[in-house]
Amino acid sequence: MHFEIKIIKNRKNMKIANPIYDVVFKYLMEDNTVAKLLVSSIIGEEIVSLDPKPQEHTREKDKGETKGKIPNLTVYRLDFSAKIKLSGGQHKVIIIEMQKADLPTDIMRFRRYLGEQYIDSENRIADNEKIEAMQIYAIYFLGNELGIYDTPVLCISPEIKDVSTGEIISKKSKFIDGLHHKSWIVQISCLKARRRNELEQLLSVFDQSNLTSDNHILNVCEENFPEKYRPIIRRLKGAASNSKVKKQMKEEDEIFKYLRDAARIEANKLLTEKDKALEEKDKALAEKDKVLAEKEKSLAEKDKEIEELKKQLNKTPSA
């Protein structure tokens, strides 16, 4: 069935805080109703309850990255315990690992965070006097594309397949769910003008093409969003007028400026070192050419001497 979002034109725009900022994203997710709505829309399942796990796993800087000059900074992370409604009135409890990264990030960091969930002894439940491992859902908001273009939201869901026939097996297994996780990746840079379904319409709140002259603020039209998503828009509108949030957005700007400057300095340093290495190489080649030229000159002089000796031998009368 073809799904089409109808955009209502000539409506007054409203200003919302830019959720690409960690402080705004955190403010958004602190509202449990809004958090349930956002997460449920991404995973496509009904969430009965969503409880933040004791944290906060905010940002972690690389060893020696900033030498204490700025706060920790890499990946913003939120963990939840969620009860999902299944068909037939049943429920399952899962762990949701949510990570948001604005800058290119070492993939090993994502793997480490996910690994922590797998080894956490708290991520299990008792079921009929058995201990069951909770299934893990991972959601990533990435500011950089992965090389998969023009696709705002990617879903990676492990399949169970009969190796002999290639048939997909739909039956579920707690053993398999406990060992494999599902994940969703939101490529924020791919959200531009993509409104093919309600999820892409919702995620358009991250669309940076809606920026105003102030990078902290986006212009959106509330009426362009389905009614059920209005609480998210209103929450972001509230963040835009929150003095504490605005102050922390400015602090994030300073942090990213520091990182960009540090990256530029490091890049210039590497270029200088490379230029120096090339210069040394050119110097060594010049020295080598000089040595070769001297050898060629020496050989030429010897050849000349040999020719002179030959001439003298030819002039000597035979006995």
| Contact status, residue 188 vs residue 151, Cβ threshold 8 Å | no
Is residue 7's pLDDT more than 70?
Answer: no
In this structure, of 4-13, 70-79, 115-124, 131-140, the range with the lowest mean pLDDT score is 4-13
Q: How far is CA 68 from the centre of its chain?
A: 24
Where are the chain's structural domains?
14-241, 243-319
259 or 158, which is more confident?
158
Structure tokens at 236: 């972001």
User: In this structure, what are the phi and psi dihedrals at residue 96, rounded to the nearest 5 degrees?
Assistant: -115, 120
pTM of full prediction above 0.75: no
Provide the mean pLDDT of the chain.
84
pLDDT digits (tens, 9 = 90+) for 86-136: 888 888 999 999 998 866 566 788 888 888 888 888 888 876 677 888 999
| Contact status, residue 236 vs residue 17, Cβ threshold 8 Å | yes
